[in-house]
Chains A and B, each alone.
With several copies, the nearest count.
Chain A
Amino acid sequence: MTLDPAGRALSDFTVELDVYSGPYEWLLALILKEELEIFEVPLRELVGLYLSARDPGAPNTLERDTDFAGSAAALVLLKSRTLSPLAGEDEDEEGEGLSPQQLAERLTRYLMVRRGAQALRERFAANAGHYPSSHLLPPRPGRLRIDFERVLEAARRAFSRQAEPPVDHLGPITVTLQELASIIRTALVRGPVPYEELIRDMDRLRSAVTFAAALSLAHEGHLRLRQTEPLGPLTLEPLR
């Protein structure tokens, strides 16, 4: 397992697990494509691998941690979805009957896009801080047209956003890690807590963020994530 300190976010992180060995991002892609059963992936081991490969001094540590926590949270989200599929949710039908060739094609496509995204990240960063001239001449009166209806539409959107909690997708996060970290800490006062119990009454988004919060607390040394067997439940144990 290697981590290039100056390297791309997570693309150099490789994992060695019983069910899979290879780059982490492929593992992610395989699970997203439902080719690898999420229950077979020992999360504790995965987190352990990540933490032991982690170089806190690397320039992009925060980015890497965020990516890892984000993708790990997405895994938990998938797990909860597998446990309780929502009625009416149209699961990808073609996903069932994919041939290995089709799957390889899809994975290849996704991997390329992922690499393309990393290249874009670098380009955006390299081109940040170019500010244009402010010496603009106003267009001749009448040249600029602003659509009246679009202004009204923008008003509707801007002033309605507060009442629109997006929980049906992995969009903007409306709960904070801190908030859920404090819930975990409170729960741990009484001793070890099964992860499933912790998230029992939570929606998908909150349970995913709870996992990210648990990772963060584990990394800070406040708790330990224990999974005794590959298919077994995940337990959070207090350390301090």
Chain B
Amino acid sequence: MSDTPGDTPRASHLIEAILLTSSRPVTVGALSSATGLPEAEVESALYDLARRYAPGESGILLREVAGGHLLSTSPECAPAVERFRDEARPAPLSGAAHEVLACALYHGPLTRSAISGVRGVNSDAVVRNLLDRGLLAEVGTDRDAPGSPALLDVTDDFLIATGAASRGDFPPLETLVAEEELARVRERLQVEAPRPPEST
């Protein structure tokens, strides 16, 4: 960070922000590489945060689980959180979200960049939201691609939400889109043949 010292966010702030956006435990190593801070500094910031998010201090706890660090709701708040979960109306999905789900449904498992490629726009933020909502999941990695990016697919929750018993309930892509257009999509995906929706 090339800012003047006054502008540089504190280590604990950076870590707090990262932990808010991760539903999985984050290791000290991952925090260090995202923040650019040495591990010792990360450890010391985590120590400060553990006091800020301690039982009795906050409704949010900083917990050390599975070799990483995770924010979670305090057990004493669980009844209120459960009531909120029951009462909250799920946010509707955007047009972009429907498209990303359709990509994964018909061409999944596929990588983030393949989704963006098919749609013609960067879709990372939409993918992130769908992962958070449990409608997409990472199901493996594409070992042939540089960096071995994650492969994404629709989840059972998605199928349940659409009222479909299985992928087979969706009509084949060929009945929705002209063959020549599908050829272009496949070209972008560099896939030889379309996968029938049944094969999960």
| Interface-side segment among A49-57, A139-147, A231-239 | A139-147
Q: CA separation between A144 and B20, bound complex, in Å?
A: 20
Instruction: Give the contacts of B124-144 with A (CB-CB under 8 A).
Output: 124-126, 128, 132-135
Q: Collect the chain B residues with CB atoms within 8 Å of residue A117's CB.
A: 95, 98-99, 101-102
Total of A-B residue pairs, C-beta within 8 Å: 255
Q: Collect the chain B residues with CB atoms within 8 Å of residue A126's CB.
A: 163
Complex partner residue of B173 from A9, A116, A153, CB under 8 angstroms: A116
Q: CA separation between A176 and B135, bound complex, in Å?
A: 27
Q: Collect the chain A residues with CB atoms within 8 Å of residue B181's CB.
A: 111, 159-160, 162-163
Given contacts A113-B106, A161-B119, contact A146 B177 (CB under 8 A): no
Total chain B interface residues with beta-carbon distance under 8 A: 73
Q: Collect the chain A residues with CB atoms within 8 Å of residue B101's CB.
A: 117, 120, 146, 151, 154
Q: CA separation between A79 and B107, bound complex, in Å?
A: 30
Interchain nearest-CB distance for A101 vs B (Å): 5
A130 touches B95 (CB 8 A): no
Closest B residue to A29 by CB, please name it: B120
B73 touches A169 (CB 8 A): no
Q: Which of B61, B89, B163 has the most CB of A within 10 A?
A: B163
B106 touches A22 (CB 8 A): no
A153 touches B125 (CB 8 A): no
A118 touches B189 (CB 8 A): no
Q: Collect the chain B residues with CB atoms within 8 Å of residue A111's CB.
A: 177, 181-182, 185
Complex partner residue of B78 from A129, A135, A153, CB under 8 angstroms: A129
Complex partner residue of A145 from B103, B124, B161, B170, CB under 8 angstroms: B161
A170 CB-CB contact with B under 8 Å: yes
B13 CB-CB contact with A under 8 Å: no
A146 touches B93 (CB 8 A): yes
Q: Collect the chain B residues with CB atoms within 8 Å of residue A145's CB.
A: 161, 163
Instruction: Give the contacts of B40-96 with A (CB-CB under 8 A).
Output: 61, 63, 70-78, 81, 85-86, 88-90, 92-93, 95-96
Complex partner residue of B102 from A103, A129, A155, CB under 8 angstroms: A155
Interchain nearest-CB distance for A124 vs B (Å): 6
A200 CB-CB contact with B under 8 Å: no
Size bracket, chain A contacts: 35 or more
Closest A residue to B87 by CB, please name it: A131
A127 touches B132 (CB 8 A): no
A136 touches B21 (CB 8 A): yes
Complex partner residue of B185 from A66, A124, A151, A159, CB under 8 angstroms: A159
Q: Collect the chain A residues with CB atoms within 8 Å of residue B126's CB.
A: 171
B176 CB-CB contact with A under 8 Å: yes
Q: CA separation between A159 and B124, bound complex, in Å?
A: 18
B95 touches A148 (CB 8 A): no
A32 CB-CB contact with B under 8 Å: yes
B21 touches A134 (CB 8 A): yes
A195 CB-CB contact with B under 8 Å: no
- Residues of B bordering A, CB below 8 Å: 17, 19-24, 61, 63, 70-78, 81, 85-86, 88-90, 92-93, 95-96, 98-99, 101-103, 105-107, 118-122, 124-126, 128, 132-135, 157-158, 160-164, 170-171, 173-174, 176-178, 180-182, 184-186, 188-191
Question: Top 10 closest A-B pairs, CB basis?
Answer: A171-B125, A129-B78, A116-B102, A154-B98, A129-B75, A117-B98, A155-B102, A127-B163, A32-B120, A115-B176
